[in-house]
Structures are given as C-alpha cells and as structure tokens.
Chain A
Amino acid sequence: GEDVEQSLFLSVREGDSSVINCTYTDSSSTYLYWYKQEPGAGLQLLTYIFSNMDMKQDQRLTVLLNKKDKHLSLRIADTQTGDSAIYFCAEILDSGGYNKLIFGAGTRLAVHP
C-alpha cells in the first residue's frame, strides 16, 4: 500500500540537534526525499538519498536510511529559528511504469530560544 508515516510535531531548543523520523512502505523505492515547507510557501527540496546508500550528509543535514526497517531520518545540526517549518518525507512509487511521489503528513518543527 501507499503509506508514509511521520510524527506530527517536534519541539527543540535553538542550537540543539533535531531528528525527524519517517517510515515508508515500498521497499522498491529508489529515492527518498525530504522537503521543507515554510508558512504560505511551496515545498523546498532539502535533500534526497538513493536507496543503496545508508547515509548522506549535506552541511547541517544528515539523512540516515535503514532499508531493512524502511526507516528514514533527517538530522538537523545546530537547529536555528529559521529551521521552523513543516518537513515532509516522500518516497517514489512506481505507478504502472511511471513514478509518483507519496508524501507523509509532515512534521512540524518548532524551534524555541
């Protein structure tokens, strides 16, 4: 089935690390994505990871993939108030030979001083 699950809310203190978790269902997904959405805006692509990788690091962002458990996480180091947003995890699903993105419900990250 098509189901990507995320916790709905995360609150962290400025300067701490944030870890946003996601589980997905399609073990054949080739790419998994993290998008960020700020209030009133569209989705900004943050990063993606290929399914044959365990980890990808990009500046303050670290993505970990556990393919056996179908678990994906996004770690934001030194979280800032500008990181406050909704973060969406998404997997690629092969739909009759064509790809479509399946999104989780999004995790709202609140960063407080």
Chain B
Amino acid sequence: KAGVTQTPRYLIKTRGQQVTLSCSPISGHRSVSWYQQTPGQGLQFLFEYFSETQRNKGNFPGRFSGRQFSNSRSEMNVSTLELGDSALYLCASSIQGETDTQYFGPGTRLTVL
C-alpha cells in the first residue's frame, strides 16, 4: 500500500503571497490531519478533516485553512504569507480505527522570503 504523499516537497514564496499544499492519504484512510513543524515551536496541530468536514482545529489564525475532497485527499491553504510561516508542513492520515494511529507523509518545506 502506498504511504501518505505530499506535494510539492519544497516551495519558496514571498511575503503576502498565498500557497496551497496537497496531501493524499493512505488508501482507505478517511481522516487527514495537518501539522506545522518549526525549530522554535516544534510540532503544532493545525486541523483535522474527516469525510470532508473539519472536525478539529488548532490555534492558528484564519489565514490557515483547509479542505478535504470526497476521495479523502486534502489541501491546506495559507494566505498572506508571513516570514514566520516558513516551516515543514506535515500531513498525517489515519483509518479512524481503535488506535487512531497516524501515519505521516514526508512533508512540504515552505520557505517564505
């Protein structure tokens, strides 16, 4: 079974621009979660989607948004980029079974100049 895939792997943007990141979960997984990883703040939860609905949201400003499609693929969008948005964005999927074990993709490295 293929793992979680994320595209693109690397991205360079300038302040004020917007960006869309994509995540394809493991086949059969219906839950997708997004995390931001930075050296200063570590791994922080952004949001979680299940069956095209956002069920859970972390403490991030409204510039961060996401959506999930009927095939469980998910996208996250960051508008009006700031320098502090430079980070590794990780997507994880789970089957929503007993353990809710999350499997991570390789991440998208976003650099904001």
Name A residues whose Cβ lies closer than 8 Å to a Cβ of B: 31, 33, 35, 40-45, 48, 50, 88, 92, 95-96, 98-106
Contact = CB atoms under 8 A, between A and B. Distances in A.
B27 to A, nearest CB: 17
B106 A42 contact: yes
Interface stretch (B11-19, B75-83, B97-105): B97-105
Contacts of A42: 4, 6, 90, 104-107
B102 A101 contact: yes
30 contacts: A31-B99, A31-B100, A31-B101, A33-B101, A35-B104, A40-B109, A41-B106, A41-B107, A42-B104, A42-B106, A43-B104, A45-B101, A45-B103, A45-B104, A50-B99, A88-B43, A95-B56, A96-B56, A98-B48, A98-B56, A100-B33, A100-B45, A100-B56, A100-B58, A101-B92, A101-B102, A102-B45, A103-B42, A103-B43, A106-B43
Given A100-B45, A100-B56, A101-B33, A92 B100 contact: yes
